[in-house]
């Protein structure tokens, strides 16, 4: 090998090779479109009509490809496809009623519309779930999971609620577990309501044979002055068909409780508006210049908020059973509670940035918003004292850099403002805030890490059925929320005062990683 080379002579000798390489790079070897050269966040459908929306380096190539496609299209004209019927082309007059009709057999999750636009959907376990994405996002999802945050919708998991005296519940549930297989329903931290644990259950009296599978157990903290207890058992849909009959057997709950409301749908009002008379409908149809809308039998009723029923049962099936001998009540709360899971090292930062503790209703607002649950909740001083303690604990959690410092399965009850009211105007990545970590009280942070969340702060209004129904019924519609935001003097600022129905009770549960 020579110790040195002459630059000019070397370049002249390799000029032909360099030209061949540049010519090979400039020519496309496949039929890829120019829009595929852009990253996903820059791709827009409008670019195919207006090339000026593209970056300047790609405009000339896009113009040439467009002219080429127009010339090729003018030579061979495809036969026009048979147009759909006028009835099929028209948009449904009430989209919500149409959506409810389409999910009679397979229930949709709250995030179904978002997933349907980006995923290949599959019908599984009575639900319509996202199976795989329609575009290449595996690497971005892996990056989010490993270095930032990834959200999963686990609302299809089945929740079974048990109510009764603590001794009766433990005596019944002890037949399905064993201390040799790990934590049981009677674990000290689990029984206090401070931790959520995973329990492996078996058929009654059959340990170590005939295992049913793992379930997640969460006890409600014991309210002062109340003897009864309450717990939730979360299980996979494939496990529910074996788990529910086994719980009915050990708890001796065979007496079905009829539902107190219409099993098909839960409407915004108990009494719907009367249907218009046939003469009025005929006049509206014959009136010249009137805007025609697709008629619907239920068009005059309030908008449907929630469907009672899920993929694991029919709408008219009994969901509550009780026992006269043990006093235990079993409720099937499947699809009653929305459940999300955040995965990644920055999940804690995203959660603390997205949620804000609910603002307390003022004295002047209590009389105006008495129909909602939060103003009534604020009228009790003990509830406000508990809410302030929970808000202080949540503020202390902002000073923790990672949730690995907390005990696994830690539970925190909190009432927050509607997250849609505090969303930033521009999408951005959330990073750990060093200033908040420095401002946080060091003593409170150490005590929280060592002892965990206090038992009284694990309480939440989410356990109350009346509160859940009130939040569902009085949710602020997206259209009304956008109208309120457009009326703000400063665009992008927060709505003040917060609407009385814009409070949501949540339960924050720490999900430990692989151990």
The three-state (H, E, C) secondary structure of 20-61, written as one string: HHHHHHHCCCCCCCHHHHCCHHHCCHHHHCCHHHCCHHHHHH
Question: Residue 74 domain-assigned?
Answer: no
Please check whether residues 321 and 353 belong to one and the same domain.
no
Taking only the tens place, the pLDDT of each residue in 500-514 is 778 899 999 998 876
Please check whether residues 326 and 418 belong to one and the same domain.
no
262 vs 113, more confident: 113
The CA-atom distances, in angstroms, between 263 and each of 128, 161, 315, 318 are 21, 19, 6, 9
Instruction: State how beta strands 265-267 and 304-307 pair.
Output: antiparallel
The pLDDT of residue 219 is: 92
Question: Residue 420 domain-assigned?
Answer: yes
Flag whether pLDDT at 337 surpasses 70: yes
The pLDDT of residue 438 is: 55
CB 263 within 8 A of CB 308: yes
Please check whether residues 354 and 410 belong to one and the same domain.
yes
Question: Residue 387 domain-assigned?
Answer: yes
Least confident of 141-155, 224-238, 350-364: 350-364
The pLDDT of residue 271 is: 37
Helix (H) or strand (E) run with residue 156 in it: none
In this prediction, residues 42-51 reach a mean pLDDT of: 70
Euclidean distance between CA atoms 455 and 330, whole angstroms:
25
Q: How many domains in the chain?
A: 3
CB atoms within 10 A of CB 186: 16
266 vs 122, more confident: 122
Euclidean distance between CA atoms 391 and 502, whole angstroms:
17
Strand order in the sheet with 127-133: 107-108, 127-133, 119-124
Euclidean distance between CA atoms 453 and 109, whole angstroms:
31
The CA-atom distances, in angstroms, between 60 and each of 30, 109, 357, 468 are 19, 44, 53, 57
The pLDDT of residue 395 is: 87
CA angle 455, 475, 107 (to 5 degrees): 90
In this prediction, residues 154-166 reach a mean pLDDT of: 91
Please check whether residues 358 and 440 belong to one and the same domain.
yes
101 vs 164, more confident: 164
313 vs 482, more confident: 482
Euclidean distance between CA atoms 408 and 511, whole angstroms:
7
Please check whether residues 362 and 496 belong to one and the same domain.
yes
In this prediction, residues 191-211 reach a mean pLDDT of: 88
Average per-residue pLDDT in the chain? 78
Question: Residue 83 domain-assigned?
Answer: no
Euclidean distance between CA atoms 8 and 287, whole angstroms:
87
Flag whether pLDDT at 215 surpasses 90: yes
Which residues, including other chains, have CB under 8 Å from residue 412's CB and lie 6 or more apart? 390, 393, 394, 397, 453, 457, 458, 507, 508, 509
Q: How confident is the model at residue 401 (pLDDT cuts 50, 70, 90)?
A: confident
Flag whether pLDDT at 309 surpasses 60: no
Instruction: State how beta strands 107-108 and 127-133 pair.
Output: parallel
Please check whether residues 370 and 447 belong to one and the same domain.
yes
Least confident of 71-75, 203-207, 215-219: 71-75
Q: Is 160 exposed, middle or buried (0-12, 13-18, 19+ CB in 10 A)?
A: buried
Kindly tell me the sign of the dihedral angle through the C-alpha atoms of 252, 254, 258, 259. Answer: positive
Least confident of 238-252, 270-284, 414-428: 270-284
> Which residue, among 471, 463, 464, 466, has the nearest Cα to 503 in the 3D structure?
471
The pLDDT of residue 278 is: 37
Please check whether residues 318 and 383 belong to one and the same domain.
no
Please check whether residues 189 and 238 belong to one and the same domain.
yes
Q: How confident is the model at residue 183 (pLDDT cuts 50, 70, 90)?
A: confident
Q: Which residues of 460-487 are buried (b: 16+ CB within 10 A; e: fewer)?
A: bbbbeeebbbbbebbbeeeeebeeebee
Asked, as a colleague might, if the bond just before 208 is cis with ω within 30 of 0, I would say yes
> Which residue, among 227, 223, 233, has the nearest Cα to 460 in the 3D structure?
223
Across 66-224, the runs of DSSP E, i.e. the strands, are: 107-108, 119-124, 127-133, 150-153, 158-165, 197-202, 211-219
Euclidean distance between CA atoms 78 and 209, whole angstroms:
65
Flag whether pLDDT at 47 surpasses 70: no
> Which residue, among 389, 383, 387, 358, has the nearest Cα to 454 in the 3D structure?
389
Asked, as a colleague might, if the bond just before 298 is cis with ω within 30 of 0, I would say no
The pLDDT of residue 369 is: 47
Please check whether residues 311 and 354 belong to one and the same domain.
no
The CA-atom distances, in angstroms, between 320 and each of 126, 253, 273, 302, 316 are 20, 9, 30, 27, 12
Euclidean distance between CA atoms 158 and 311, whole angstroms:
10
In this prediction, residues 225-241 reach a mean pLDDT of: 88
Which residues, including other chains, have CB under 8 Å from residue 507's CB and lie 6 or more apart? 218, 411, 412, 413, 414, 460, 462
Question: Residue 353 domain-assigned?
Answer: yes
Please check whether residues 367 and 501 belong to one and the same domain.
yes
Question: Residue 398 domain-assigned?
Answer: yes
Flag whether pLDDT at 316 surpasses 70: no
Flag whether pLDDT at 147 surpasses 80: yes
The residue among 66, 89, 117 that closes a domain is: 66
The CA-atom distances, in angstroms, between 343 and each of 155, 214, 442 are 16, 20, 27
Euclidean distance between CA atoms 312 and 302, whole angstroms:
27
Please check whether residues 316 and 368 belong to one and the same domain.
no
In this prediction, residues 362-390 reach a mean pLDDT of: 74
Question: Residue 118 domain-assigned?
Answer: no
Question: Residue 370 domain-assigned?
Answer: yes
The pLDDT of residue 246 is: 92
The residue among 66, 83, 107 that closes a domain is: 66
Q: How confident is the model at residue 266 (pLDDT cuts 50, 70, 90)?
A: very low
Q: How confident is the model at residue 342 (pLDDT cuts 50, 70, 90)?
A: very high
The pLDDT of residue 290 is: 37
> Which residue, among 231, 61, 260, has the nearest Cα to 163 in the 3D structure?
231
CB 332 within 8 A of CB 235: no
The pLDDT of residue 68 is: 81
Range of the domain at 18: 7-66
Instruction: State how beta strands 211-219 and 228-235 pair.
Output: antiparallel
> Which residue, among 471, 349, 354, has the nearest Cα to 422 in the 3D structure?
354
> Which residue, among 386, 316, 400, 317, has the nearest Cα to 351 in the 3D structure?
400
The CA-atom distances, in angstroms, between 211 and each of 169, 206, 243, 475 are 20, 8, 11, 41
Please check whether residues 255 and 393 belong to one and the same domain.
no
Q: How confident is the model at residue 363 (pLDDT cuts 50, 70, 90)?
A: low
């Amino acid at each position: 090998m020579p110790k040195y080379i002459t630059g000019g002579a070397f370049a002249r000798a390799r000029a032909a090779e360099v030209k061949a390489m540049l010519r090979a790079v400039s020519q496309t070897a496949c039929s890829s479109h120019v829009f595929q050269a852009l990253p996903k966040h820059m791709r827009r459908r409008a670019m195919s009509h207006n090339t000026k929306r593209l970056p300047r380096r790609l405009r000339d190539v896009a113009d040439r490809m467009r002219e080429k496609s127009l010339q090729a299209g003018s030579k061979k004209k495809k036969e026009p496809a048979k147009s759909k019927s006028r009835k099929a082309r028209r948009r449904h007059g009430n989209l919500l009623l149409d959506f409810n009709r389409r999910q009679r057999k397979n229930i949709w999750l709250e995030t179904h519309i978002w997933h349907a636009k980006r995923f290949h959907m599959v019908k599984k376990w009575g639900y319509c779930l996202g199976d795989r994405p329609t575009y290449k996002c595996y690497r971005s999802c892996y990056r989010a999971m490993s270095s930032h945050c990834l959200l999963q919708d686990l609302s299809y998991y089945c929740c079974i609620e048990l109510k009764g005296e603590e001794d009766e519940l433990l005596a019944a549930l002890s037949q399905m577990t064993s201390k040799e297989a790990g934590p049981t329903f009677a674990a000290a931290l689990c029984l206090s309501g401070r931790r959520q644990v995973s329990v492996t259950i078996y058929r009654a009296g059959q340990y170590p044979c005939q295992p049913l599978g793992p379930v997640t157990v969460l006890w409600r903290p014991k309210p002062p002055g109340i003897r009864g207890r309450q717990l939730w058992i979360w299980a996979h849909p494939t496990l529910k068909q074996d788990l529910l009959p086994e719980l009915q057997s050990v708890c001796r709950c065979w007496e079905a409780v009829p539902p107190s409301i219409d099993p098909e749908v839960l409407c915004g009002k108990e009494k719907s508006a009367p249907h218009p008379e046939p003469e009025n409908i005929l006049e509206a149809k014959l009136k010249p210049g009137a805007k025609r809308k697709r008629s619907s039998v239920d068009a005059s009723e309030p908008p449907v908020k929630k469907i009672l029923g899920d993929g694991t049962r029919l709408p008219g099936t009994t969901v509550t059973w009780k026992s006269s001998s043990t006093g235990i009540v079993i409720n099937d709360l499947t699809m009653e509670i929305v459940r999300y899971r955040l995965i990644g090292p920055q999940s804690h930062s995203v959660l603390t940035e997205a949620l804000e503790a609910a603002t307390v209703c003022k004295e002047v607002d209590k009389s105006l918003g008495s129909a909602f649950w939060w103003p009534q909740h604020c009228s009790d001083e003990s509830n406000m004292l508990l809410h302030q303690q929970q808000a202080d604990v949540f503020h202390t959690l902002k000073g923790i850099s990672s949730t690995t410092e907390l005990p696994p399965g830690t539970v925190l009850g909190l009432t927050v403002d509607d997250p849609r009211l505090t969303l930033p105007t521009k999408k951005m990545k959330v990073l750990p805030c060093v200033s908040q970590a420095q401002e946080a009280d060091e003593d409170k942070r150490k005590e929280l890490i060592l002892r965990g969340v206090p038992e009284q702060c694990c309480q939440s209004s989410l356990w109350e059925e009346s509160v859940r129904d009130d939040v569902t019924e009085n949710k602020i519609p997206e259209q009304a929320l956008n109208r309120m935001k457009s009326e703000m003097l400063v665009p992008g600022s927060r709505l003040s005062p917060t609407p009385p129905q814009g409070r949501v009770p949540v339960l924050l549960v720490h999900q430990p990683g692989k151990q």
